[in-house]
Amino acid sequence: MSALLWAADQGMVKTAQHSLNASFGVSTTVKLEIFYDALAIAVQAGHTSIAKTLLMQEGIDPNFHYRHREAGECITLLARAARAGHVHMVALLLSTKGINPNLGDCMGKPPIAYAAINNQDPVVEQLLAAPGVDPNWKDDHGRTPLAWTVSFGSEAAVSLFLSRQDIDVNSAITTDYLWKKGWTALMFAASRVFAMKVELLLQTPHINVNHQCFRGKTALHHAVQVGSEVIVQLLLAKGAYPDPRDDNNNSPLVWAASRGYLSIMKLLYEAGADLNTAPRDGCTALIEASAGGYTDIVLFLLGTGKVDLAAQSEDSKRNALSVAVEGGIGKLSTFY
């Protein structure tokens, strides 16, 4: 039955039908395996006529998770069609009796997520309009299509999701996969420096800008960590608390100081962040800036007249001045 596989790849309808007619007598197990191989090929190539014929064969499950022998992936036919952007194939599969439009791969990622992360926006729109498609479907890690789209899809696709009244913009990762337990779509957007996507998310009426993940970080933490002044401004303008603490008591302001982000530090300070907050290691913003040799930040902090010069780190019991001197940054000592 190798002719069937060739016909599925080339779109030869008559050859495919002839091969199917000649399959009489072949064991059901072998026949189904070949049928699924041919279906996967036809779906990938966008040959709807052949796919339609194969879907009508006895024993074919439209929700079957096909495992590619070489690629090792295990995804449904609909996920494969969505990823390839075959609108007509997607329509055929959606109309197939028994189809579950939310089944994608063996880790629960749905077809609409496959369409989004592969920039198949017409298919995203098609699936969002299809009966039974859940825009808030969670994969095995609790990640929604919106969270996948924010990370890897287009701004247009993000807008398509956000146009839905039932979209859950605050849905968070439920496992600690890649240390992202509790991350929301807003956190993914901020951490990847996607300012426009952050802005789109912040325009939704129920966005929780102060949500903290499993480790206590907020979207503001992530925006500061990647040095995005634009995203920090967007978050603060939306009402983000300027002085959140993670589970190590790290604040965005301390992170900004440790990375030399003066402009971001100023934004946080003007929004009300505490200049003397210290994480568990005791290193305040002034100590971090001194250790990093960030003269401009040291001058700014000292200029406020509000920093605690006596504050010491927990491990070495050194204050900012001793840190600067011992670090070989003698010029900073003249400012204290």
Q: What is the pLDDT of residues 252-278, one digit of tens each?
A: 999 999 999 999 999 999 999 999 998
Q: Give the integer Cα–Cα distance in Å for 329 and 210.
A: 37
The predicted pLDDT at position 315 comes to 65
Q: Give the integer Cα–Cα distance in Å for 206 and 202.
A: 9
pLDDT band at 280 (very low <50, low <70, confident <90, very high): confident
On average, the pLDDT of the chain sits at 91
pLDDT band at 28 (very low <50, low <70, confident <90, very high): confident
Burial of residue 152, with CB atoms counted within 10 A of its CB: 0-12 exposed, 13-18 middle, 19 or more buried: middle
Q: At what angle do helices 262-270 and 295-304 cross, to 10 degrees?
A: 20
pLDDT at 334 exceeding the cut of 60: no
pTM of the complete model: 0.91
pLDDT at 21 exceeding the cut of 60: yes
Helix (H) or strand (E) holding 82: helix 77-84
Span between the terminal Cα atoms of the chain, in Å: 83
Closest CA to 116 of 159, 179, 73: 159
The predicted pLDDT at position 287 comes to 86
User: Which of 176-190, 201-215, 221-235, 303-317 bottoms out in mean pLDDT, i.e. has the lowest?
Assistant: 303-317
pLDDT at 114 exceeding the cut of 80: yes
Q: What is the pLDDT of residues 212-221, one digit of tens each?
A: 999 999 999 9
The predicted pLDDT at position 316 comes to 61
The predicted pLDDT at position 133 comes to 98
% of residues, the chain, pLDDT over 70: 90
pLDDT band at 290 (very low <50, low <70, confident <90, very high): confident
pLDDT band at 246 (very low <50, low <70, confident <90, very high): very high
Beta-carbon count within 10 A of 64 CB: 16
pLDDT at 206 exceeding the cut of 90: yes
